[in-house]
Amino acid sequence: MITLALSKGRIFEETLPLLRAAGIEVLEDPEKSRKLILATNQSDVRVLVVRATDVPTYVQYGGADLGITGKDTLLEHVAEWGGNVSAAGLYQPLDLQIAKCRISVAVRADFDYASAVRQGSRLKVATKYVAIARDFFATKGVHVDLIKLYGSMELAPLVGMADAIVDLVSTGNTLRANHLVEVEHIMDISSRLVVNQAALKLKQAPIRNIIDAFASAIAK
């Protein structure tokens, strides 16, 4: 049995064509079903529906053989292992080039970020991505107090709780709607295929088939 961990929503939708290219059809829609284990047209392949932030955990601890996760989520997950994907027992063979966006620093339109940085001010930064934010500001030599949030980061500068946020940006509409402006582009983000290293050794042929089918589907 090959088990693939996916999260609902954008990643799930954008993964379906890749699965199809590998000859795999998921038999149920996770948005309609309450089932957490979905069968596929291949009796030896199943899909687990898990929270996006839990995908690397399921793959690392062998609950799933493979998973698809954003680079943002993967970097935060492996921070505990010194930022090393392989030290976390994971193998990252492919950038699937789906769910593309960027991770950026944003501030209120009336906050002068450039002069705060120039003056060496200590910034309060609200984010779900504490490892990515810590690394970014440390490299820049900016002192920050990080405030961990789990969602709606945009609120923090509006209510005076933070000077800046670090969040995913796609169209920029969410920032604009909340009178925030992007002041730093930290990195581009896309979804990655992650594989449990032990599973890859034990089930090499079927897992390689999936990796190869995904790779040729991306190239098209």
Can you read off the two tokens belonging to residue 115? 């002069």
Task: Give the residue with the Cβ less far from ligand AMP, 34 or 150.
Answer: 150
The distance of closest approach from Cβ of residue 101 to ligand AMP in the complex, given in angstroms and rounded to an integer, is: 4
Task: Give the residue with the Cβ less far from ligand AMP, 54 or 65.
Answer: 54
Task: Give the residue with the Cβ less far from ligand AMP, 39 or 155.
Answer: 155
Contact 148, 189 (CB under 8 A): no
Task: Give the residue with the Cβ less far from ligand AMP, 30 or 70.
Answer: 70
- How deeply is 72 buried, as exposed, middle or buried, from its count of CB atoms within 10 A (0-12, 13-18, 19+)? buried
Handedness of CA 9, 15, 17, 19 (dihedral sign): negative
The distance of closest approach from Cβ of residue 203 to ligand AMP in the complex, given in angstroms and rounded to an integer, is: 29
Q: Which residues bind ligand AMP (CB under 6 A)?
A: 10, 70, 99, 101, 167-174
On the CB side of 143, CA atoms within 13 Å amount to 4
The distance of closest approach from Cβ of residue 52 to ligand AMP in the complex, given in angstroms and rounded to an integer, is: 7
Contact 87, 78 (CB under 8 A): yes
The distance of closest approach from Cβ of residue 23 to ligand AMP in the complex, given in angstroms and rounded to an integer, is: 26
